[in-house]
Amino acid sequence: MRTQYTGSHTVTVTPFTPGGAEIDFEAWEGFLDWQVECGVPGVIILGTTGEFLTISDAERTAFVRHTVNYVNGRMVVWVGTMNAYTPNAVRYSKEAEDLGADGLMIIPPYYVTPTDDEIFGYYRAICEAQNLQIMLYNNPFTSNVDMSAKLVGRLARSFEQIRYIKEASQRIERIHDIIVESEGHMHPWAGQRVLESYKMGAEGYVNPYGNYIPRASVKFVEWAEQGRWDDVQRVQDVISQFDTIIVEGHPLYGHQCYSKALAAAAGHPVGDVRAPLTTYESLGDEGRARVAKMVPLMEELDRIVDEIEARPAAAAAE
């Protein structure tokens, strides 16, 4: 019987030493301890936020091994093992299993715009090579592929390892469609808008905000599981303000350098991003001004969580 995972799992940054020269394992250990202390049930490493495309194979092996060993069962560890070349995705996936990871998050082959049958063959090859649970990652904005509910259902019915999906198409109704098409086998996770996604049937959240507001983002997912929609909305309204500040005049994935800058502001410096991404350092006054706007939001979320958590249990459930 496989463990069923739920809750807010942080899709993490990858910490680098100055100039992006190496992975900063000392900073990483402090970051992981912080996640555990805040009640984060799992981390997802080497996803988009983790700059997986900039990581060498040797770095990947060392990073996965170090993460699994250091976490030592305190959280679930998912590993992003996607690649545009199927044998590489298979190799990364088998290696993650061998190194002790708990699960895999895998986007379809990017750039080449594969057909449904080609996508099916890609996941089939990965499933045949290893036995970890797989979270599909549907993000048409980066992969140039939008996996339909019909395709996701076909995958879930065909392979018992495939039981999760990060649904980030921004079509919230897709969550319900996936549950129907998979005949209940699939457990969709929110890729955005937690409140709306949970109302449609989401059972987890792939959470980029956990890099700098882990406590608040863990709590509002717990409240979503309990149907405490007003409490969820209070946190989500503040979180949406981070997005507004970051995306003004900045690329789609500008959040990566700000995630690192905000982690530093929270007391956990993790370096800057690697090329070709825009570094936080290069933003100068613009970047510092934006972070200065967001730090008070982090403090506001702490106050909101403290206030809600201080309420009597009966009042919180109303």
Q: What digits encode the pLDDT tens for the residues 263-290?
A: 999 999 999 999 999 999 999 999 999 9
Where are the chain's structural domains? 7-317
- Identify the bridge partners of residue 10 per DSSP, sorted by sequence position: 43, 207
For residue 141, name the pLDDT band (cuts at 50, 70, 90).
confident
Q: Is the pLDDT of residue 227 over 60?
A: yes
- Which residue pairs, CB below 8 angstroms and at least 24 apart, start in 143-149? 143/107, 143/108, 143/109, 143/110, 143/111, 144/110, 144/111, 144/113, 145/108, 145/109, 145/110, 145/113, 145/114, 145/119, 147/108, 147/119, 148/116, 149/174, 149/177, 149/178, 149/180, 149/181
Q: What is the pTM of this model?
A: 0.95
For residue 135, name the pLDDT band (cuts at 50, 70, 90).
very high
Average pLDDT, stretch 65-83?
98
Domain 7-317 -> CATH class: alpha beta
The pLDDT tens digits for 154-204 are 999 999 999 999 998 878 899 999 999 999 999 999 988 999 999 999 999
Strand segments (E) across 12-83: 42-45, 76-80
Mean of the per-residue pLDDT values for the chain? Answer: 95
Instruction: Indicate the range of 23-27, 138-142, 307-311, 314-318 predicted with least confidence.
Output: 314-318
Q: What is the pLDDT of residue 1?
A: 73
The pLDDT tens digits for 297-315 are 999 999 999 999 998 865 5
Q: Is the pLDDT of residue 40 over 90?
A: yes
Q: Is the pLDDT of residue 318 over 80?
A: no
Distance of alpha carbon 242 from alpha carbon 237, whole angstroms: 10
Which residue numbers are catalytic?
A: 137, 166
For residue 140, name the pLDDT band (cuts at 50, 70, 90).
confident
Distance of alpha carbon 100 from alpha carbon 231, whole angstroms: 36
